[in-house]
Amino acid sequence: MLSMAALSMDRWIAVVFPLSYSSKMRYRDALVIVAYSWLQSLTFSLTQLLMDWGGYSHTYASCTVHLDNWSQLAAYATFTVLFHCSSFALCLIVLCFAYLKVLRVARSHCKRIDVITVQTLLLLVDIHPSVKERCLAEQKKRKQRATKKICIFIGSFILCFSPYVITRLVELLPSVHIPRYWGIAAKCLSYAKTSSDPFVYCLLRQQYRKVLVSIISRVLRKDQYSLSVHSTSSTLDTTDDNCIARIT
């Protein structure tokens, strides 16, 4: 989670302050961000080991943090709340702040492009109406594209991680029993976020989609070519066998 927050901060500085990026994101600043991510993970991992809160959990069907001795409920609850506040909540705040700033800059750039486009269309009196409609439609798509990407970034994060975080907080109540199927589903959903991010981010960009389509088409053409060559060779072999049989 913290790596996603670090990347969003880097994108925010690169988009909002493109000319002063090297002065605002220095090696020291990047080192502080990476050091905090590692220090946070190391601190909570060592605390879990020292307090003996780790092991196999039947609810989540995996080795994770769980409490066997309910006499340590207060300390375990404090640990769980601090862990999720310093990871999930902090990352969500950073993501929302950074990407909303990026969206604001993207919309301002779209407005400038729209003004230039409208002025150009007004100068071109003899332009065909279909071309004007196409330009206006492209303006509308450009505005929606940035909003769609930001919503997918933040929405996928909330959708994949919030069920697991809420489940871990709710299970602190002694009277609440978490069903095994729900615990496994929430755990798998949180893992699915990491594995699906490269595909989601790549498919949102038109260049990556074109490359993916070209690769798939080349593979299919290669398979079709190999099948045609194989069928042609088998047909020739059958013809040769028939000719030999007639001669003999």
Q: What per-residue confidence (pLDDT) applies to 152?
A: 80
What whole-number distance in Å separates Cα of residue 146 and Cα of residue 20? 23
Q: Are residues 28 and 107 in the same domain?
A: yes
Q: Is there a single domain that holds both residue 7 and residue 112? A: yes
Taking a C-beta distance cutoff of 8 angstroms, is the pair 70, 36 a contact?
no
Q: Which two tokens stand for residue 182?
A: 């729900």
Q: What is the rounded average pLDDT of the residues 213-239?
A: 61
Do 150 and 187 share a domain, yes or no?
A: yes
Give the structural domain span for 62.
2-197
Residues 40, 96 within the same domain: yes
How far apart, in whole angstroms, are the C-alpha atoms of residue 183 and residue 178?
A: 7
CA distance 162 to 40: 20
Q: What is the mean pLDDT of residues 149-177?
A: 86
* Domains of the chain: total: 2
Same domain for 113 and 185: yes
**Least confident window among 8-22, 99-113, 214-228, 230-244:** 230-244
Assign residue 102 the CATH number of its domain.
Answer: 1.20.1070.10
- Spatial neighbors of 161 by CB under 8 A, at least 6 apart, are 1, 88, 190, 193
DSSP label of 72: G
Q: What is the pLDDT of residue 243?
A: 47
Distance from C-alpha of 36 to C-alpha of 42, rounded to nearest angstrom: 10
Say whether both 30 and 94 belong to one domain. Answer: yes
Q: Are residues 120 and 209 in the same domain?
A: no
Domain boundary among 171, 197, 223: 197
Q: What is the pLDDT of residue 231?
A: 54
* Residues 17 and 123 both lie in one domain: yes
pLDDT tens, position by position, 2-52? 777 888 888 888 888 878 888 888 888 888 888 888 888 888 888 888 888
Mean pLDDT score of the chain, rounded to an integer? 76
Indicate whether 74 and 111 sit together in one domain.
Answer: yes
Q: How far apart are CA 121 and CA 132, in angstroms?
A: 7
**Position with higher pLDDT, 237 vs 167:** 167
Name the residue with tokens 């798998």: 188
pLDDT, position 236: 44
- Number of continuous H segments (helices) and E segments (strands) in the chain: 8, 2
Query: Residue 156: is its pLDDT beyond 60?
Result: yes
Picking from 39-43, 141-145, 167-171, which range would have the lowest pLDDT averaged per residue? 141-145
